[in-house]
Amino acid sequence: MVLNFAHRGSLTEAPENTLPAFQKAIAHGAEAIELDVQLTKDRQLVVCHDHKLTRFNKNAPKRIIDMSLEEIKGIDVSGSFKEEYMGTTLPTLDEVLEICQDELLLNIEIKNIPVLYEGIEDILIRCLSEYNRLHNVIISSFDHMALKRIQDIAPSMPIGMLFYYRILQPWKYAEHSGLEVASIHPNQVYTDREFVKQCKASGYKVYPYTVNDLKHYEELVDFGVDGVFSNNPEIFGKVTSLKLK
């Protein structure tokens, strides 16, 4: 069984990491969704990849950490989807949890780069707990110390270790990290057969990101990956036949 994540929702069809993007992904039949979380000035969890909103709205120069939730809710992030999605704003994590059924696997990525959100781990676990959603969630981050804090607070929460650059033997790094790592999330550019074999031999699931080309996806499935993060609805929503191979 290969499990594919709609990366930031269906970002080719609606503004990334917003409710319409998640709804689109769900409509495509996605079984899993990836989203990024950050903190506002008043310590609310919002779902966004960048630490500023300028990519979506050039009239919004401030950093997320320097704005209150109220201020952020006044900013249109429809970006290039203006015609259809004018007025779309960043969702809070609560709002996303409201629309996600229990069966939908969520990968929540703590975006601690370049801003380090002190205490985000406690706020995240508290939020998931309030929504009775401590199950069917993987928490990942490029910040492996954030993952350690998550594991200290919620020891049974599956942890996904993200790697941007290729490091030597990340499976050994994970083993010696002192963390109970469930999955390794490597950049797809260096995910080859040997890499997947070694990670899996060490007991880790492997979910490379971001895989948009169908041929490359098939190749990675042949290498034995457990799933991928993808922007392509053909991959995250319509790959049943491949899964059965």
Q: Choose between 13 and 36: whose C-beta lies nearer to Mg ion.
A: 36
CA of residue 181 relative to chain centroid, distance: 16
Among 13, 16, 31, 109, binds ligand G3P (CB under 6 A): 109
Active site residue 176: no
The reply to whether 7 belongs to the active site is yes
- 90, interface contact from ligand G3P, Mg ion, none, CB < 5-8 Å by kind: none
Closest approach, Cβ 210 to ligand G3P, in A, equals 6
In angstroms, give the least distance from the CB of 238 to ligand G3P. 20
| Nearest distance from C-beta of residue 187 to Mg ion, angstroms | 12
Q: Which is nearer to ligand G3P, 15 or 87 (CB)?
A: 15
Q: How far apart are CA 201 and CA 203, in angstroms?
A: 5
Please say which residue, 109 or 121, places its beta carbon nearer to Mg ion: 109
**Token pair listed for 132:** 């009775």
Residue nearest ligand G3P, Cβ-based: 209
Q: Where are the alpha helices (DSSP H) in 31-181?
A: 69-72, 82-85, 93-99, 120-130, 144-153, 170-175
Q: Which partner from the list Mg ion, ligand G3P, none does 140 bind, CB cut-off 5 to 8 Å by kind?
A: ligand G3P
239/174 Cα distance (integer angstroms): 30
**Site size for ligand G3P, by CB under 6 A?**
10
Report in angstroms how near the CB of residue 103 gets to ligand G3P at its nearest: 20
Contact call for residues 75 and 63 (beta carbons, < 8 A): no
Q: Alpha-carbon distance 203 to 222, whole Å?
A: 18
Residue burial 145-177, b: 16+ Cβ < 10 Å; e: rest: ebbbbbbeebeebbbbbbbeeeeeebbeebeeb
Cβ proximity to Mg ion, 178 vs 190, nearer residue: 190
Among 2, 6, 7, 97, binds ligand G3P (CB under 6 A): 7
Among 31, 36, 121, 143, binds ligand G3P (CB under 6 A): 36
Q: Which of the residues 7 through 46 are near Mg ion (CB under 5 A)? A: 36
Question: Cβ distance 16 to 8 under 8 Å?
Answer: yes
Rule CB under 6 A: say whether 22 interacts with ligand G3P. Answer: no
Distances (CA, A) of 94 to 99, 124, 176: 9, 10, 34
Q: State the burial class of residue 209 (Cβ atoms within 10 Å of its Cβ: 0-12, 13-18, 19+).
A: buried
Applying CB under 5 A, among 109, 121, 143, 226 the residue interacting with Mg ion is 109
**DSSP strand pairing (105-110 vs 159-163):** unpaired
Determine contact, residues 201/174, Cβ cutoff 8 Å.
no
Looking at the annotation, which residues are catalytic?
7, 49
Q: Which residues bind ligand G3P (CB under 6 A)?
A: 7, 34, 36, 49, 109, 140, 162, 185, 209, 229
Q: Which residues bind Mg ion (CB under 5 A)?
A: 36, 109
